[in-house]
Amino acid sequence: MLKNLQFQEDHPVLGPTSKLPLYKPFDNVEQEHNIVAGVYERPSLKAPYDSHIVRDILAQSKRYQNLKPQAALQILGERRSFEYFKKFAISHLESNVKKQFRIFFKMIVCKENAFKPSDELAHSIFSWNWNDFLTRRRLKNFVWVDVLLRTEEKCLHIYKFQKDLEQLQVFVEKIFDGLFSNMGKEDIDIYQHIEKPIDEAKKVLHTTDYVEDELFENTKDLKQLIHKEYFLSDPKRYSEEKFIKTHLENRILNSHIWDPIEMRFQLNWFRNIVQQNQYRMDSNLEKYQSDIVHYRQLLEMETFINGNCLDYCYSSIEVYKNRINEIQDKFDKEYDAMENKLIYKRLQIDKLREQRQFLSQEIQRFHEEEEVMRLRIEREEKEKELQRVREAEELAAKQMNKKKGQKGKKTPKNTKTNK
C-alpha cells in the first residue's frame, strides 16, 4: 500500500538538486473530476472511439496542462530533477489508462431500447461499497429485485461489467491521487482515501461467505431457543406429548369413518380438477380452431389477392412490352430517317466544302490576275507618261530650235543696219 513518504530530491547523475531552480507544474493541483456514477460524464455520442472527446475531458484537469508542448518548451533550458520526470511519466500513464477505460466502457453497450435500471431503483446492487450492502439489508421488502428481473440477462451482465469498470476507474483515480500526493505538496490521508475503499471492496467480495456464516449462526441460535422453549420445559412437554397421543388415538379410531369420506372428497376434488382442466383445454382448443379457421380464410383471401396481383402484373408487363416494342420500332424508323438525313446533309456539306475550296482558289487566282493587270496597267501608264514626256520634250526642243532659227535670221539684218 501507499505511504506518505517524502522523496529525496537526489538526481542519479547530478546529485542533490535542492538548490536548482525547479519549475513545479504539479503544485496546487486542483482535482477536477467530473464523474457521474464513477465514470466521466460523456458530453455526446457522435463516435464510439472519438479521441477528441476524450482529450477534451482529460484536459479539464489542470494536471494535464503540464503535458502540453508549451510546458516542455518552457523547461528546455532548465536542469530538471528526477522527480519531475517521474511526475511527467506518471501523468502520461494516467492519461493512457483513462483513455483505455473510456474505450472499454464504449465498446460494451446493450441495445438502445433495452431497460437499464438506475442505481436508485436497483439500490446499487453491483456497487463495491460495503455501506451499500448494509443499506440493502435494512430494506423492508425486496421489490427492487423485480426491477432487475425486467432486464435481459445479457444486458444485466453488461450493466454489471460497466459498473465494475466505473469502480476500477475510481480506484485508479484514487491511486494516482495518492502518487501525486507523495510527490507533491498535496496532503491526503492515504488510508481514508485509498486503503479503506479497497478494504471495503475486498469485504464485498466475501459477502456470500459472510451471509452464510450469519445464517448458520442465526439457525444455531434459533434451534437453541426452540430446544430451550419446548424441550426443557417439562409441563409443556408433557402436555404436548399427551395432545399428540390423544390426536393419534382419535385418528386411528375414526379412520374407518373419516377415511372413506376423505377419499371420496379427494376423488371428487380430483375429478373436478380434471373436468376443469378438460373444459379449459376444450375452450382453448375451440379458440385455436376458430383462430385456425380465421387464418385459413385470411390465407385464402391473401392467395386470391396474390393471384389477381400476379395476373395484373403479368398483363401490365405484356402491355408495357408491346408499348416498348412499338416505341422501339418507331425509334428505329425515326433513327433511320434521321440517319439518312444526316448522311444527305453530310454529302451536301462535303459538296459545299469542295465548292468553297474551288471558289477560294478562283478568288485567289482572280486576285493574282487582278494584281498582274494592275501592275501591267501601271506599267503601261508609266510608259504612256514617259511617251508623253518625251513627246513634250521633243516638241519643246523643236520649238526651241525653231525659235533659235528665227533669231538667227533676224540677227544679220541688224548687223547690216549697224554697219
Query: Are 95 and 176 a contacting pair, CB within 8 Å?
Result: no
- Over residues 12-24, the mean pLDDT reads 36
Instruction: Look over the chain and give the mean of its residue pLDDT values, rounded to a whole number.
Output: 72
pLDDT at position 268 over 70: yes
Per-residue pLDDT, 47: 41
How do strand 15-16 and strand 10-11 relate by DSSP bridges? antiparallel
Q: Which three cell numbers stand for residue 90?
A: 506518471
Burial label, 195 (beta-carbon count in 10 A; 0-12, 13-18, 19+) = middle
Share of the chain above pLDDT 90, in %: 17
Q: Cα(212)–Cα(337) distance, rounded to whole angstroms?
A: 101
pLDDT value, residue 105:
75
pLDDT value of residue 358: 92
Which of 15-29, 298-312, 318-332, 365-379 bottoms out in mean pLDDT, i.e. has the lowest?
A: 15-29
| pLDDT at residue 124 greater than cutoff 80 | no
**Residue position matching grid coordinates 477534451:** 56
CB atoms within 10 A of CB 318: 10
Which tens digits make up the pLDDT trace of 169-209?
888 888 777 777 665 556 667 777 777 877 877 777 777 77
Choice among 22-36, 86-100, 282-296 with the minimum mean pLDDT:
22-36
C-alpha 322/C-alpha 313 separation (Å) is 14
Instruction: Report pLDDT for 141.
Output: 64
Could you give the CA distance from residue 103 to residue 91 in angstroms, rounded to a whole number? 19
Beta bridge partners of 35: 40
Burial bucket for residue 166 (CB in 10 Å: 0-12, 13-18, 19+): buried
Tens of pLDDT, residues 242-264: 777 777 777 777 777 777 777 77
With b for 16 or more beta-carbon neighbours within 10 A and e for fewer, the 53-83 pattern comes to bbeebbeebebbebbeeeeeeeeeeeebbbb
Terminal alpha carbon distance of the chain:
174
Residues in Cβ contact with 391 at an 8 Å cutoff, skipping those fewer than 6 apart: none
152: Cβ–Cβ under 8 A, 6 or more apart, which residues?
A: 110, 114, 115
Residue 412: per-residue pLDDT? 54
Query: Residue 418: pLDDT above 60?
Result: no
SS3 for 10?
A: strand
What is the Rg, in whole angstroms, of the alpha carbon atoms belonging to the chain?
A: 61
pLDDT at 135 (0 to 100): 79
Q: Is residue 184 within 8 Å of residue 112, measured between CB atoms?
A: no
DSSP string over 127-191: ---HHHHHHHHT-S--THHHHHHTS-HHHHHHHHHHHHHHHHHHHHHHHHHHHHHHHSS----HI
Cβ atoms of 25 and 71 within 8 Å: the answer is: yes
pLDDT greater at residue 390 or residue 87: 390
Angle between helices 196-205 and 130-137 (to 10 degrees): 50
Q: Count Cα atoms within 13 angstroms, Cβ side, for 321.
A: 6
